[in-house]
């Protein structure tokens, strides 16, 4: 086993054991061109790459687990697609203002300690003094 010499700040020399790279590098499996692999296919490829240099075979239950990942992912995508986000109304349309005022009223009602403002009383028109009629004496 080869060693590396390491000298620390005090001048003490230590030997660190290390492992050289193998003669033949492990080549990852190639994916088919034209589409990206699914998560289950990636997991299966990684498992095959791990088992191959060890001369072991993948168990059928492990392959089934990889396929189940794809099935679960497809079901989740269908579930997410079924949820439709509400489309916002175009600014300035009557629907927009109706929704805006409803949200504003709801927000004001939810805030604690905030009382709705009372509507001001209609003012009576003031009559100037010169226009008032005085009683005859």
Which letter does DSSP use for residue 13 in this model?
A: E
pLDDT given at position 3: 80
Q: Is residue 32 part of a domain?
A: yes
Note the pLDDT tens digit of each residue in 97-113: 898 888 888 886 655 55
pLDDT given at position 63: 92
Q: Is residue 13 part of a domain?
A: no
Contacting residues for 15 by C-beta, under 8 A, at least 6 apart: 3, 4, 5, 6
Burial of 125 (0-12, 13-18, 19+ CB in 10 A): exposed
Q: Is residue 66 part of a domain?
A: yes
Q: Is residue 18 part of a domain?
A: no
Higher pLDDT, 39 or 35: 39
- For residue 57, the enclosing domain spans 23-82
**What's the rounded mean pLDDT across residues 80-96?**
84
**What's the rounded mean pLDDT across residues 80-86?**
80
Domain tally, the chain: 1
Q: Is residue 67 part of a domain?
A: yes
Helix (H) or strand (E) holding 73: helix 60-82
Q: Is residue 109 part of a domain?
A: no
Q: What is the pTM of this model?
A: 0.41
Note the pLDDT tens digit of each residue in 58-80: 899 999 999 999 999 999 999 98
pLDDT given at position 109: 60
Q: Is residue 126 part of a domain?
A: no
Q: Is residue 98 part of a domain?
A: no
Spatial separation of the C-alpha atoms in residues 114 and 102, rounded to whole Å: 17
Of 24, 70, 68, 28, the C-alpha closest to 50 is: 28
């Amino acid at each position: 086993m080869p060693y590396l010499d390491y000298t620390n700040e005090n001048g003490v020399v230590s030997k660190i054991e290390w492992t050289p790279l193998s003669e033949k590098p492990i080549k990852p499996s190639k994916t088919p061109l034209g589409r990206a692999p699914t998560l289950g296919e990636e997991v299966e490829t990684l498992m095959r790459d791990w088992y191959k240099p060890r001369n072991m075979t993948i168990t059928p239950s492990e392959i089934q687990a990889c396929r189940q990942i794809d099935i679960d992912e497809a079901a989740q995508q269908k579930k997410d697609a079924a949820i439709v986000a509400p489309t916002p109304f175009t600014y300035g349309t009557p629907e927009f203002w109706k929704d805006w005022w409803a949200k504003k009223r709801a927000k004001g009602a939810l805030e604690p300690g905030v009382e709705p403002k009372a509507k001001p009383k209609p003012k009576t028109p003031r009559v100037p003094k010169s226009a008032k009629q005085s009683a005859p004496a």
